[in-house]
Amino acid sequence: MNGIFLAVDIGNTCIDLGLFRGTRLLAHDKLSTASHPVSGPWVPVVEKLLKSIGCSDRITSVGVASVVRDSARILLETLAPLCPGPAGFICSSADAGLEIRYDRPESVGIDRLLAAAAASQRTGAAHPVVVADAGTALTVDAVCAGGIFRGGVIVPGLRLGMQALQQGTSLLPQVEPDPRARLIGRSTRECMQSGALHGTAAMLTTLFRRFEANLGRPVQAYLTGGDASLLAPLIQRIVRVDPALVLHGIRLARERRSVGSP
């Protein structure tokens, strides 16, 4: 488990990279898939990230998770020069270490499972957790005591919802979320921004409360994803915010694989 471990989470619009030494996250970067396609060049990107923290150590292992078909394999091949040999792996649902109670377990996004696994491990398997991931889609998932993944809720994320409004209407403009958006907007643009931010935060506040009632005991709530920092201040309950939760899930997957190795 010595050396540097590179964790990569490929989403629909962003790619997250994390450099770990043991359990410690040394560096975290988020890049758009539009400007950084999985086919490369990624070696200079990772080398730049290593240099930014003054690290001269080599990458000894790479773990990749992806919700985009075939992207994990392509990126792992692109990163091969950084880590020669059989030291790279693609995360599967088995790597989460959870009991998945879902109608079709193979259809659960690997990012949802890894974030849930990291949250459960951090809180302790004896306690239930609810994890919200604010990315392209906004997902909210429950993990019961004992590491049982129950599933949850999927709705459009902030930007996807605003994009749908603009594309599905003739007069609404294209806008971006604004953390300064006031609750009662005074223009169409402000009203859309308020709906995205305050509406989503209110929905999460209610969902956390309802999940807790459904599970029948207090839960630890987590918030991750690219828009976590925008939403966290507006959620009316205690929430642990970690934008790198999926990356920690990939790190845990590596640890499980290392324990299971001969």
230 and 129 within one domain = yes
Measured CA to CA, the distance from residue 197 to residue 186 in angstroms comes to 15
40 and 17 within one domain = yes
- Mean pLDDT on 231-259: 94
CB within 8 Å of 150: residues ≥ 6 apart:
101, 102, 141, 142, 143, 144
Sign of CA dihedral 12, 14, 18, 24: negative
109 and 84 within one domain = no
206 and 168 within one domain = yes
> Residue 177 in contact with residue 159, Cβ under 8 Å?
yes
81 and 154 within one domain = no
- Mean pLDDT on 110-130: 95
pLDDT, position 21: 93
Catalytic-role residue among 9, 16, 95, 111? 111
46 and 71 within one domain = yes
| Within a domain: 257 | no
Angle at 116 between CA 110 and CA 119, to 5 degrees: 140
> Residue 71 in contact with residue 10, Cβ under 8 Å?
yes
203 and 167 within one domain = yes
The upper half-sphere exposure of residue 35, i.e. CA atoms within 13 Å in the direction of its Cβ, equals 4
Angle at 62 between CA 89 and CA 125, to 5 degrees: 75
The answer to which of 76-80, 155-159, 242-246, 250-254 has the lowest mean pLDDT is 76-80
**pLDDT of 222 strictly over 70:** yes
pTM of the model: 0.92
**pLDDT of 122 strictly over 90:** yes
- Cα–Cα distances (Å) from 127 to 16, 44, 90, 112, 219, in that order, read 28, 42, 28, 18, 7
- Mean pLDDT on 132-161: 95
111 and 55 within one domain = no
CB within 8 Å of 232: residues ≥ 6 apart:
223, 239, 241
What is the number of other CB atoms lying within 10 angstroms of the CB of residue 45?
A: 17
Per-residue pLDDT of 143-156, as tens digits, reads 999 999 999 999 99
pLDDT, position 94: 93
135 and 25 within one domain = no
pLDDT, position 125: 85
pLDDT, position 164: 93
SS3 state of residue 202 = helix
227 and 103 within one domain = yes
| Within a domain: 52 | yes
111 catalytic per annotation: yes
Round the average pLDDT of the chain to a whole number and report it. 92
What is the number of other CB atoms lying within 10 angstroms of the CB of residue 147?
A: 18
Per-residue pLDDT of 24-57, as tens digits, reads 999 999 999 888 988 878 889 999 999 998 987 8
pLDDT, position 262: 40
**pLDDT of 83 strictly over 90:** no
Report which secondary-structure segment, H or E, holds 66.
strand 59-66
Is the omega angle on the peptide bond into residue 41 within 30 degrees of 0, that is, cis?
A: yes
The answer to which of 2-6, 105-109, 229-233 has the lowest mean pLDDT is 2-6
Band of pLDDT at residue 84, cut at 50, 70 and 90: low
Residue 23 belongs to what domain range?
4-90
| Within a domain: 49 | yes
> Residue 99 in contact with residue 113, Cβ under 8 Å?
no
Report which of 37, 54, 51, 42 is spatially closest to residue 17, judged by C-alpha positions.
42
Q: Give me the number of domains the chain comprises.
A: 2
pLDDT, position 85: 65
Measured CA to CA, the distance from residue 122 to residue 91 in angstroms comes to 19
Q: Which of 121-125, 165-169, 203-207 is modeled with the greatest confidence?
A: 203-207
